Structure 1
Amino acid sequence: MTVELNFQDSGGEGTPLIVVHGLLGSADNWRSHVKQWQEQRRVIAVDLRNHGRSPHADGMSYGEMAEDLLALMDRLGIDRAHLLGHSMGGKVVISLARMTPQRVASLIVADIAPQKYGHGHDAVFAGLRNLQRGRPENRREADALLAEHVEERGTRLFLATNLERDAEGMLALRVGLDQIETGYEEIMQAPAGEGAFDGPVLVLRGGRSHYVPDSALPALREVLPTAEVVTLQDAGHWLHAEQPEAFQAKVNAFLSALSA
């Protein structure tokens, strides 16, 4: 059963760009990019199920998340769209492109390959559970609770974007943490669908990230045979946040070439 996703729509004409965040992210993380892109095109940033302001629901498979996104396109009357996905969101848009290629004008995949990954979020989940139990009153307390398990300050700041005040005035997580943890094995899997998507594809990877090594490129090209692979040398996994101007420039050049 599909989930009615929360979204932010800039409005405008032409083929829209739909932006899909990664694990434990949200549409809010993309505000600065959306502000730039909306000057040129309609941009829709979504919250996936169990993230942001979207409903919580069991199931985190890529087939289910792609169906959620397709249902949103139907609801908005969007026949075709450019799809941009980061990390987990990248697997979602690859899944949709494989399942319904006629609905996809192009793909922009940010720092993920269409393959299965190993577990790597144990400390993050432990930190979020610690935060839940601690019931912090302010962001300083929240950061201290996360820091007991998550050493990297940048990661803690990213996780803290999921905090909001509850009815009692305490800081609480808005993500469906139970559903995400239960579905974590599904999140680590390869994208849904079969075969290759042969439409236009841009793959952006971070030079300091381990998510899309050169060894992954042959398998990537089996699924995305037309992919242009671009490396942002001084960026890690959160390349859109670490190298925002370079990220913007590559996306703009790719989309502009398609409409030329």
Structure 2
Amino acid sequence: MRLHYELKGPETDAGRAPLVLLHGLGSSTRDWRLQVEHFSQKRRVLALDLRGHGRSEAPPGPYAIPLFAGDTADMVRRLLPGATAGGGVHVAGLSMGGMVALQLALDAPGVLKSLTVVNAGVDYRPDTRRQRRLLWQRRAAMRALSVRQVGWLLGRRLFPGRPALQQKMTDRWAQNDPVAYRASFEAIMNWSARARLPEITAPTLVAAADGDYLPLSVYRTCAGRIPRAELAVLENARHAAPVAQPEAFNAVLEDFLDGF
């Protein structure tokens, strides 16, 4: 299976471990463009299109979060062998990519130097009436709408008052393979790391937007259950903070990475 990736930045590490970026559901490496540009000035940066996304192949499902994590581990070992043999890489994932990063920390801890989880739940168990309503709406949209229509709706929720970003999201979502998109959605619905969070040994940054779908209490609990985790709250931000507030997000991530 062919997986698309972008690998940029200096090949000599200068003491800085590479950074691996994992996108969310329906997204691709393109949503990390501003992070790749910023962080590749000082370190090697690898951004991946997960299977069924972007310019990667979309083999038949079913898909699963551990499957995405296995793909990621294989690519990191192949493309960054020196880093994985010499202390690991920094892995940052947004939304579904954060779930993949959590699973990677559990399944292949030797690959990681650190873990950053951005606006990613530890499962999709709805704990409140609002969360149950949002989950029902998401499932209903998956059944009734085209991927372009889903992108149109999400764009307006994620980027209110920013028509250029709304249109960009609509156009990019329309490029998704609908079968692979739904298979990836089901992978999210069928996954949980809640019970295994205390097993994660990597230093971890839990980055949460104060305007995300999930309440901050979810992220506080997540950070509290991972032994070496810290929480950073992105103010006046929503789910796609790396896209909508790249400077603020980059500053938070850079501050964390500079500690290594």
* Same-fold status (TM-score > 0.5): yes
Distance 2:151 2:203 in 1: 40
The counterpart of 1:83, out of the listed 91, 100, 117, is: 91
Structure 2 equivalent of residue 136 of structure 1: none
Residues 137-216 of structure 1: pairs in structure 2 closer than 5 A = 152=156, 154-155=165-166, 157-163=168-174, 173=175, 175-188=176-189, 189-191=191-193, 194=196, 195-216=198-219
Q: Which segment drifts farther, 208-217 or 237-246?
A: 208-217
CA RMSD of aligned residues (A): 2.6
Residues 1-260 of structure 1: pairs in structure 2 closer than 5 A = 3-12=1-10, 13-14=12-13, 15-57=17-59, 58-78=61-81, 79=84, 80-117=88-125, 119=135, 120-121=137-138, 122-123=140-141, 126-129=144-147, 131=148, 152=156, 154-155=165-166, 157-163=168-174, 173=175, 175-188=176-189, 189-191=191-193, 194=196, 195-222=198-225, 224-258=226-260
Structure 1 equivalent of residue 159 of structure 2: none
Q: Which segment drifts farther, 179-188 or 196-205?
A: 179-188
Instruction: State the shift of 1:50 in Å.
Output: 0.5
How many residues align? The count is 231
Q: Which segment drifts farther, 82-91 or 249-258?
A: 249-258
Residues 89-144 of structure 1: CA distance to partner in whole angstroms, max 9, x if unpaired? 00001100111111100011111132224535343664435x5xxxxxxxxxxx8x
Q: 1:162 to 1:183 in 2, by over 3 A?
A: closer
Structure 1 equivalent of residue 130 of structure 2: none
Residues 46-84 of structure 1: CA distance to partner in whole angstroms, max 9, x if unpaired? 101110000102132111000000110122143121001
Distance 2:195 2:2 in 1: 21
Residues 204-224 of structure 1: CA distance to partner in whole angstroms, max 9, x if unpaired? 1111113252145334432x2
Q: If the length of structure 2 is used for normalisation, what is the TM-score?
A: 0.79
Instruction: State the shift of 1:161 in Å.
Output: 1.9
Higher helix share: 2
Q: Which segment drifts farther, 85-94 or 73-82?
A: 73-82
Q: Which has the larger radius of gyration?
A: 1
Identical amino acids, percent of aligned pairs: 26
SS in 2 for 1:54: coil
Distance 2:258 2:115 in 1: 14
AA matched with 1:185? E
Distance 1:192 1:64 in 2: 18
Structure 1 equivalent of residue 132 of structure 2: none
Distance 2:151 2:9 in 1: 37
Instruction: State the shift of 1:31 in Å.
Output: 1.1
Q: Which segment drifts farther, 116-125 or 193-202?
A: 116-125
- Structure 2, unaligned runs of 5 or more: 127-134, 157-162
SS in 2 for 1:25: coil
Q: 1:100 to 1:182 in 2, by over 3 A?
A: closer
Instruction: State the shift of 1:11 in Å.
Output: 3.9
Q: 1:233 to 1:75 in 2, by over 3 A?
A: same
Q: 1:103 to 1:182 in 2, by over 3 A?
A: closer
AA matched with 1:128? S
Distance 1:159 1:7 in 2: 22
- Check conservation: 1:205, 1:232, Cα contact below 8 A: yes
Structure 1 equivalent of residue 131 of structure 2: none
Instruction: State the shift of 1:9 in Å.
Output: 0.3
